[in-house]
Amino acid sequence: MLIIPAIDIKDGKCVRLTRGDFNQKKIYLDNPLDMAIIWRKQNAKMLHIVDLDAALTGEMVNFEKIRQIVINLDIPVQVGGGIRSVDAVKRYLDIGVGRVVIGSAAVSNPKLVEELLKIYRPSKIVVGIDAENGIPKIKGWTESSDLKDYDLALQMKEMGIERVIYTDISRDGMMQGFGYESTKKFAEKAGMKITASGGVTNSEDLRKLDELKPYGVDSVIIGKALYECNFPCQELWYNYEEGINLDHNFSTARQK
């Protein structure tokens, strides 16, 4: 099970939300690049970045912040949040982003997905389905879709999409465990490669997720649980960090 740390960017800072609520925001670091370097030092093999400002406005507000992460790290980065045009996808892929995540646009403008797959390989385009009680939410989770989550997935699958990032919104950022049943039900009906997201809290959740591998769930995005140091393997790193100059180390990493 590939574990993918999440970096959400709002107003240029690294934050975490609770259930996607912008009024329940906690800032972890002022510079998202610093956070990306920490996750890489903790042996992350991939990063998941969301431009929260873009998710609301459709404008690539934090593009430069994301570019700095991509050019300074040696692992794949996937990016989502407000990507609603071919031009936006091109801009991200041109700077070295490994794959882009199409969320709201998959619902409001499915032809965009169709057009993108004529230009790029399916491995470059991922669809993000953020659902609450089986209903996809769009535009920063402020509006609901008329489709069921698995119906949207099957529609995307027919177009040629191979992977979906599935988030159970009711669990996201709650630190109360991930939606095992909802994720399993979705995976069974979708029959696709699936990256689970939302609510993973501890090692036990990871063990339960492992049971969903036969249904196509092969990776998981983890946010708040990593930031709150919920996994024993993180403790050594954070204790070590207390005794060193973070700014110096981040500067050295950038130079490399």
Q: Judge whether 149 counts as a catalytic residue.
A: no
In degrees, to the nearest 5, what angle opens at C-alpha 253 toward C-alphas 250 and 256? 155
Q: Judge whether 94 counts as a catalytic residue.
A: no
Q: What is the largest distance, in Å, between two alpha-carbon atoms of the chain? A: 53
User: Count of residues for the chain?
Assistant: 256
Burial per residue of 176-192, b for 16 or more beta-carbon CB atoms within 10 angstroms, e otherwise: eebbbebbbebbeebeb
Ranges of beta strands (E only) in the chain are 2-10, 13-18, 21-29, 47-51, 77-80, 99-102, 125-132, 135-138, 143-144, 163-168, 193-197, 217-222
Which residue in the list 8, 34, 172, 205 is annotated as catalytic? 8
Which residue in the list 34, 51, 53, 130 is annotated as catalytic? 130
Residues labelled catalytic = 8, 130
